[in-house]
Each structure stands twice: as structure tokens, then as C-alpha cells.
Amino acid sequence: MKVSELVYDEKYRVYQNPEKAINYSDGEKNEQYVFNCLKNAKDTSIFSMELHNCIKDWPSEYHFTPYRANILRPFTITKDHNVLEIGAGTGAITRYLGETGAKITAVEGGLPRARCIAERCRDLDNVTVICSNVEDVEFDQKFDVITLIGVFEYTAKYSAHNNPFYDALKNYGDLLKPSGSLVIAIENKLGLKYFAGYNEDHFGQPYFGIEDRYGERDITTFGYNQLEGMLKDCGYASVKFHFPFPDYKIPKAIIAEEGLKNTKFNETDLIRLTKERHYGSRPKENLLNEYLAWKSVAENGLVKDLSNSFLLVASRAATTELLDNSLLAQFYTCARFEPYNTTTTFIVDGSDKIKVLKNSLDKGKSFSDSNDLVHDFKKEIDYVTGNNLHHWIMESLLKKNFAEYERLMKKWADHVRGEVLIGDSTTDLRIKPEYFDAIPRNIIVDKKGNFHLFDQEWTVNQEFDLSFLVVRYLAEHRKKIGMYSGYASNFLSFVNKTLSVCDLQPISKSKLNQILKKDEAIRNSIHKPGGMASRKVLKSFIQLFLKMAKDVKKYVYYDQFAQR
């Protein structure tokens, strides 16, 4: 059906192809909840606090988290672009595209979702919503950009073509302008998380994609070489990969291929600042520690093959205008109150030096800092090649190398004494108020072992000392007994042993709680509460016991015992 022949539904502000809708959804109850939240919200923008407060489980997090929009932030999309978004869901990405000012045509197969898109973008005149299978729409224009965010893997399931994936790529190419770009975000069936026993996202079973159990018309994911080969075979002259972490669904870091190739850039540090997500309640199949594994993966040049997801840009032209070839990576902070959210961009300048650019994501927002908290950061600094101190400390704890842990913590404390104290380090251990973030996470250790402090965003006009900074840093392990088991019997003991190593006096339980409460109050003035799906602990325990029973059966039935 031609676009001009689509039926406009005035109630939901959606153009429909009534006979060609797709029955895909998260469930009627979930999508009605999303629609109601959008309908009742005054603000439906990316950083809407109203929508943030609607997050109660994984479906609602997926539809409302501001992290979704990051998947397109590395690309230059402007008001001069015509964008076709295929499989637009409930409008999380559509909203971001609409806010760029570009002219957006969002196509979604299911009416419940399509009406959510229209509601999410109700104040954006540059967004048109179509409800139809995209194969059944005849477009009367060519596009600068076509996006398939979490969509390409569904092609065979909803296509009438004999060779669905290849035919779809060829058809999308025909819809692009000569210099246009196709953007695909998709899971990597060989992602490290899947080797670690995480369930395949669509079938809920471990190792499903690795073992290539997909049927001819199944939802199907691919590896790096498969995707690149398909696109090349379908006439795309330029294919550029990016690697979102922890995955394309909620990207907190995106690394370009140039970032993996640049020997001065440490991609492992960025990857380790993210955490793999298990989207079901079923327990993992095995106990591989991905945090430790990524270092070995990167050292052996395998990040592109084992990245959990791919983000790629393909064009039939030799180059694409969407990409800045100087880009190495981006890192996003999206869980703060406005206007504290930021993007950190790593680029190579004309002299091959790496620069770090930091900018606010909350454009045009006005605010005033409180007297106790001031947000300020350098918009450009030089990149220091080396390793993040926090990751070294984490490695030492995970590997139970406590002597190394003590050495690193002592060296950090000595560095703080020499650099950021108000007075004499022997008698006055108060920290300068602009160094609230002078913790190991914000220190790079270069090849000579020198410490470089970076990313000092906050000035906290409350008095705090070095002991406070130590406790503040250790607080993330407060409920992770396994991190310090073998070193200390409880968190207070862990803190006091560490303070002693740093040549500081031990503290009482009441003093510890006082410090934790003070730190939490400061954090709570920066970070939004919630924003993540709640864990289903009881259901996970039940499924763990069921899994153990199945494992016993597997050993008995298939004689999968270790060799005698």
C-alpha cells in the first residue's frame, strides 16, 4: 500500500495499513501500562522524570530508560535528514530522533505500540507514525538514514521473502539516497555474555545462538563476519562496526572500531565500567567472571568478535556522513537528575593525540547548584594512556590477592595526601572540597606508575577527610561479602583493615554509618532513585533449584561425568 493510501486514525494519530499489522508485543498488559504512563505524563522527553518513575520491571525499563537513546548518539543526525525508523517499538528511539529535529517516519507493526509512539512524540510535528509491516508499505521518497534497532533479527519471522535477510538488506538499500546510511543494532550470537551462560535473548536458553539452533523462520542473530559478509554481498560498499556495552539495549559505552585499533586507547577500562545484564530471572549457566575475562579478550584483539552486541553503519557509498572518523568511543551518564547527565567522547586530533571531550546531555536546561554541591567539569582534557586504578584494585580483590590490594590502596592514600589535602598531611587530613571524586575510579596509572587524577566534576562544600574518601570508595562493596571474604569477616572489619593500611585510624560502627549516611545524602542529590528493573529473587531461587535438578538428570542420561 502506498503511503498516500494509508488510513489515518485521528484518535491515536497513527497512519494504518489495517490488513498488514503485526501481532508482536510485550503483552497487552505491559503495553497498556506504557501507554497509560505516556498519556498521563506532561513530559515525554528522553530525561522525563515522570517516565523514569514509571519504571517497575524490565519491560517498563526498556521502554522508558534514557539509556536507550544512546545507541544513536555517536552519529550526526540533524534537522536536514529524513529518517525511516523500522520497528519503532513504543517510541524510545523515535523520541530521541524527533528531538534532533530530523523528519522522522516511524514504522511499527502493532497498533498498541504504534499508538505509544504517537503519544511519546505528541509534541513533535516532525514525527509521522505508520502502523504496518514495513514490507507492505510503498514509500514515495528516499531516506538519508534507515534504522533497525533490535529489529533485523526478526526479519525472517515476519517476511514473505524466500531469502528474507538478504532481500531485506537489498530493499533497504533501494530506499536510501545514494549517500544514505543503514544503521543496525543487534545482539552478537557469539557475545561473551552468552559464553558465560546468559540466556539467548529471544529463546531464553543458554548457548542457543552459539550452537546455532535457529530455525529457517526463527528470530536469528549473527556473528561479526556473518553480518559484514551479508552487507557486502548486498551491495554496501562501506560497513563500519561499533560495539555497545553492556549491549545495544541499554548502552552505557559505545566503542568504535578505530578505538579497538588505537594502541594508545584502553578500551577495557570503558567496558569494565559497564555490567552485563541478565534479562530473565533464570540463573546463569556457569560462573565465568566477565569482568576479569574482558581484559584477556581485549589483550588478544577479540573484542570485535565477542562484543555482546553490534552497532553498525552501512552505506552503498564509499563513506557515510553519519560518522566522524576521529571518534574512538563515547561513555554516557544518564541516571542523574537534570542537568547533571553527561557524555564523554574520546577522539583523535590531527596530531594523533587522543582528546577527551565532556558535555552535558541536558541541552538548554537551566539550573542552579545548591550551596553544598556545585557541578563543574573541564570540557576538554588530554587522554592519559594507562590503566584505571579502580580496575586494578577490583582485580586484586576478585583474585584474592590481598597483598596487592593493600599496596594499591596505600599508594592511592599517599597520592591523595600529597595532592588534594587542605593543610599539612601529617596533621590535617581534610580534603579540598573540589576533590570529592578523588577516588581510584578517577585515577589513571601510566606506564611509569605515575597517578593522574581526572574527571573531578563535583565541589562539595561540606567538610570531609581522607577517611571519608576511603569509606566512600569501599561503600560499593557494602553488601558484597564475597569481594572481601578471606580478608575480613564483615564490612566494618574490611573498612578498618583498609584504613590501617592507609595509615588511618580505625572507626566505630556508628562512625561508619554516619559516613555512609552523609555520602548517600550527597549521592541522592545527584542520582535519580530507581530506574532499573527490580530483581525477582524468589523466582530466581526456584529456577536455580530446578536447574540443578535438570543438571543431575543430564549427567545421568548422557553420562556427562568428568573422566575417571
Contacts of 338 (CB under 8 A, 6+ apart): 47, 49, 362, 365, 367
In-domain check, residue 306: yes
Per-position DSSP letters for 322-367, written without gaps between them:
T--TTEEEEEEE-SBPTT--EEEEEEE-TTS-EEEEEEESSTT---
In the prediction, which pLDDT does 423 show?
A: 78
Contact present, 346 and 381 (Cβ < 8 Å): no
Q: Of 169, 105, 109, which Cα lies nearest the Cα of 143?
A: 105
Pair (80, 190) in one structural domain: yes
| Residue 537, pLDDT above cutoff 80 | no
Contact present, 239 and 228 (Cβ < 8 Å): yes
Pair (157, 290) in one structural domain: yes
Pair (394, 271) in one structural domain: no
Q: Which residue has the cell 554481498?
A: 233
Q: Which range marks the domain in which residue 461 is found?
A: 387-524
Query: The domain spanning residue 173 has which CATH number?
Result: 3.40.50.150
Pair (307, 444) in one structural domain: no
In-domain check, residue 554: no
Structure confidence by residue, pLDDT tens digits, 31-40: 999 999 999 9
CA distance 464 to 96: 40
CA distance 26 to 116: 13
| Residue 281, pLDDT above cutoff 80 | no
In-domain check, residue 216: yes
Name the pTM for this structure. Answer: 0.93
Pair (217, 304) in one structural domain: yes
CA distance 145 to 97: 11
Pair (310, 419) in one structural domain: no
In-domain check, residue 549: no
In-domain check, residue 552: no
Pair (237, 165) in one structural domain: yes
- Copy the grid coordinates of residue 510: 556508628
Pair (137, 11) in one structural domain: yes
Pair (321, 402) in one structural domain: no
In the prediction, which pLDDT does 479 show?
A: 87
Structure confidence by residue, pLDDT tens digits, 236-251: 999 999 999 999 999 9
Structure confidence by residue, pLDDT tens digits, 203-241: 988 999 999 999 999 999 999 999 999 999 999 999 999
| Residue 24, pLDDT above cutoff 80 | no
In the prediction, which pLDDT does 366 show?
A: 46
In-domain check, residue 174: yes
In-domain check, residue 557: no
Tally of domains within the chain: 2
